[in-house]
Amino acid sequence: MVSREILRRVDWLLVAAIGLLLVIGEQAVRSVTQSDFLGDPGYFVRRHIIYIALGLALAAVAVLVDPRVYRRVFWFVYGGTIGLLIVVLGFSAVRGSQRWIPLPFFTLQPSEIGKVAMIVCVSVILADCVRRGIRGWGMVLRVVLVILPPFALVFIQPDLGTSIVYIAIALTLLVVAGLPGRIVAVLGGIGVGLVVVVLGILPSIGLPLLRPYQSERIVAFLDPEGGSPAAYQSQQAKIAIGSGGLTGRGEGVSQTAGSFLPEHHSDFVFAVVGEDRGFAGAAIALLLYLFCLWRIGRMVPRARTLEESFIAAGVFGMLLTQVAINVGMVLGIAPTTGIPLPFMTYGGSNTITNLVAMGLALAVGARALPRDALEPGWSGRRGVRRGDPSDAPPETA
Amino acid sequence: MGEPTREYEPPPPPRPPGDGFDRDRIARRMAILGAVAIGLVAILVLRLWSLQVLDVQRYRAQAVSNGLRSISVPAPRGQILDAQGKVLVGSRPANAVAIDPTRFPDLLVACGRDVAGPPDLRDDDLRALRISAAVTAANALGPERRRARIAVIDRQLSGGTEVRAWAGCTDDHPQLAELARDAGITVASMEDAIHEAASKAPFDSIVIAEDVNRAVLFFLKERAALYPGLRIVEGAARDYRTVRGADGVRRPMAPHLWGELAEVSSAQMTDQVTYRDAEPGDVVGQRGVERAFDRYLRGTNGSLERRVNAFGDPVGPIVRSEAAKPGDNVRLTIDIGVQAAAESALRDAIAYARATGHPAAEAGAIVAIDPRTGAIRAMASYPGFDPAQLAGPDGQDYWRRLAADSKGSPLLDRALAGLYPAGSTWKPVTAIAAVAARQAQPNAILQCSPYVEVDGQRYRNFESDVDEPMDLVRALTTSCDTYFYELGQRLYGATPRNGGFEPQPLWARRLGMGEPTGIDIGGDTPGRVPDAAYKRRRFGDDRIQNRWTSGDAILQSIGQGDVEVTPLQIARLYALLANGGSLVTPYIGASVVGQDGTVRETFEAAPGERVPIDPYVLAAIRRGLEGAVQDPDGTAYAAFAGFPIPVAGKTGTAEKKGKRDFAWFAGYAPASNPELVVVCVIEQGGFGGETAAPAVRQVMARAFGVDEATIAQIQQAQEAGVYDGPALGRDPAREAQRTD
The whole-number pLDDT of residue B391 equals 82
| DSSP per-residue string spanning A131-142 | HTT--HHHHHHH
Cβ contact (<8 Å) for A6 and B101?
no
pLDDT value of residue B429: 96
* Domain around B256: 68-92+240-332
Q: Compute the distance between CA of residue A235 and CA of residue A237 in angstroms, rounded to an integer.
A: 5
Round to whole Å and give the CA distance between B571 and B380: 13
**Is residue B41 a part of any domain in this protein?**
no
**Residue B38 counted as domain residue:** no
Q: Does residue B284 surpass a pLDDT of 70?
A: yes
> Per-residue pLDDT for B74 more than 90?
no
Specify whether the backbone of B378 is left (phi greater than 0), alpha (psi in -120 to 50) or beta: beta
B421 within some domain: yes
Residues in chain A within 8 Å Cβ distance of B139: 102, 107
Instruction: Check pLDDT > 70 for residue B265.
Output: yes
Q: Identify the three-state secondary structure at position B163.
A: coil
Residue A392 has pLDDT above 60, yes or no: no
Asked if B199 and B81 sit in the same domain, the reply is: no
Residues B514 and B367 in one domain: yes
Same domain, B213 and B251: no
Spatial distance between the Cα atoms of B70 and B730, rounded to a whole number of angstroms: 73
Q: What is the pLDDT of residues B619-631, one digit of tens each?
A: 999 999 999 999 9
State the average pLDDT for chain B: 83
Asked whether residue B211 falls in the same domain as residue B275, the answer is no
Lowest mean pLDDT among A110-114, A367-371, B529-533: A367-371
CATH number of the domain bearing residue B316: 3.90.1310.10
Query: Quick one: which of B708, B669, B666 has its CA closest to B689?
Result: B666
Query: Residue A377: what pLDDT?
Result: 43
Mutate one of B1, B29, B115 to test the A interface: name it (highest A CB count within 10 A). Answer: B29
Distance (Å, whole) CA B277 – CA B441: 57
- Could you tell me if residue B30 is inside a domain? no
Rounded to whole angstroms, the Cα distance separating A296 from A365 reads 8
Distance to chain B for A346, nearest Cα, Å:
16
Total CB pairs under 8 A between chain A and B? 245
Over residues A158-200, the pLDDT tens digits come to: 788 888 899 999 999 999 998 888 898 998 888 888 877 776 6
Q: Residue A371 pLDDT > 90, yes or no? A: no
Question: Å from B48 to nearest chain A CA?
Answer: 7
**Nearest beta carbon to residue A239 from set B13, B66, B311:** B66
Cβ–Cβ under 8 Å, residues B232 and B221: yes
On whether both B471 and B389 belong to a single domain, the answer is: yes
Per the CB < 8 Å rule, is A239 touching B38?
no
CATH no. for residue B465? 3.40.710.10
Residues B428 and B502 in one domain: yes
Domain-embedded: residue B272? yes
Domain identity same for B607 and B471: yes
Rounded mean pLDDT, A215-223: 63
ipTM: 0.87
Average pLDDT over residues B6-31: 69
Confidence of residue B544 (pLDDT cuts 50, 70, 90): low
Distance (Å, whole) CA B469 – CA A373 = 143
Rounded to whole angstroms, the maximal C-alpha distance in chain A is 69
pLDDT (tens digit per residue) in A285-304: 999 999 999 999 999 998 98
| Judgement on whether residues B181 and B219 belong to the same structural domain of the protein | yes
B690 vs A199, more confident: B690
Q: Which residue has the higher pLDDT, A380 or B77?
A: B77
The pLDDT > 90 percentage for chain A reads: 37
Assess whether B250 and B211 both reside in one domain.
no
Domain locations along chain A: 2-369
In a mutagenesis test of the A interface, which of B25, B48, B313 is the best target, namely the one with the most A β-carbons within 10 Å? Answer: B48
- Name the domain boundary from B208, B228, B248: B228
Cα-Cα-Cα-Cα torsion B196, B198, B200, B201, nearest 10 degrees, comes to 130
What domain count does chain B have? Answer: 3
pLDDT of residue A40: 67
Within this chain, do residues B369 and B327 fall inside the same structural domain, yes or no? no
Domain end among B228, B252, B273: B228
In this structure, the answer to whether residues B310 and B450 fall within a common structural domain is no
Chain B: residue whose CA lies nearest to A317: B33
Give the HSE-up count for residue B637: Cα atoms under 13 Å, Cβ half-sphere: 17
Tell if the CB–CB gap between B41 and A92 is shorter than 8 Å: no
Testing the interface with B: which of A9, A10, A130, A378 to mutate, by most B Cβ within 10 A?
A378
> Residue B52: inside a domain, yes or no?
no
β-bridge pairing B250-252 and B261-263: unpaired
pLDDT at residue B338 tops 90: yes
Instruction: Choose the final residue of a domain: B199, B228, B257.
Output: B228
Give the pLDDT mean for B572-586: 95
> Which residues are CB-neighbours of A149 under 8 A, at least 6 positions away?
A82
Q: Are residues B169 and B198 in the same domain?
A: yes
Shortest alpha-carbon distance between residue B64 and chain A (Å): 8
pLDDT in tens, A321-366: 999 999 998 888 887 777 899 999 988 889 999 999 999 999 999 9
B14 part of a folded domain:
no
For residue B309, is it within any domain?
yes
